Structure 1
Amino acid sequence: MAAAGARRIIFTNIAQDGTLQGLELAPLKALLEAVHIPVIASGGVRDLRDIEALQQLRRDTNLEGVIVGKALYEGTLPDTVWENQ
């Protein structure tokens, strides 16, 4: 992908997107190992545990960020997540 000019990838697990069932980390980890450009995760964030798992993954990989939708609207994340950005 980088060879084709991609500078960043948004990886959306469409099976998890909008379900509030939590992240499925295995496919994301596989992508992070396969590419060397920044990746933004999306799809399935449920609560603070998911954010913490992504923070841990970010320390060791090229994970750049996360897109959160329904968890924000449903209020399943504490306000401190947004205050600490």
Structure 2
Amino acid sequence: VAGIIYTDIKRDGMLSGPNIKETKLLADSVSIPVIASGGIHGIDDVKGLLEAGGIWGAITGKAIYSGSLDVVEAIELTKSYEAR
């Protein structure tokens, strides 16, 4: 296994915010990349995942299609964290 996609199925497609606490707990418990999925609504959710640290990526699905997340803004935000 090269990585894990952690999907909180109660939040998937609901745009209610990702489960940062559990995603971070999993990321801290394994030595492979963990990708967050489920509930991401907007840039604040992306920022929360970045600030948690140790989470390798995020699947943003519905947030992109609904227009609640600006992909360019999210990529730029991610770049600012990569520089740290």
Alignment TM class, shorter chain as reference: 0.7 to 0.9
Other-structure match for 2:58: 66
> How many pairs does the alignment contain?
77
Unaligned runs of 5+ in 1: 1-5
Aligned residue number for residue 31 of structure 2: 36
8 Å CA contact retained: 2:13, 2:38? yes
Relative to structure 1, the CA distance from residue 83 to residue 22 in structure 2 (aligned partners, 3 Å threshold; closer, same or farther) is: closer
Q: CA 1:83 to 1:8, structure 2 compared with 1: closer, same or farther past 3 Å?
A: closer
Superposed displacement of residue 83, structure 1: 5.7
Between stretches 21-30 and 10-19, larger displacement belongs to: 21-30
Q: Which runs of 5+ in 2 are unaligned?
A: 80-84
- Residue 80 of structure 1 deviates from its aligned partner by 3.1
After TM superposition, the score normalised by the length of structure 2 is 0.80
2:4 match: 9
Compare CA radii of gyration and give the structure with the larger one. 1
CA displacement at 1:19 relative to structure 2: 0.1
Separation in 2, partners of 1:76, 1:38: 26
Match of 2:44 among 42, 46, 49: 49
How big is each residue's C-alpha offset from its partner over 1:24-44, in whole Å with a ceiling of 9 and x where there is no partner?
212112101211111111100
Over aligned residue pairs, what C-alpha RMSD do you find? 1.7
Task: Name whichever of 46-55 and 71-80 sits farther off.
Answer: 71-80
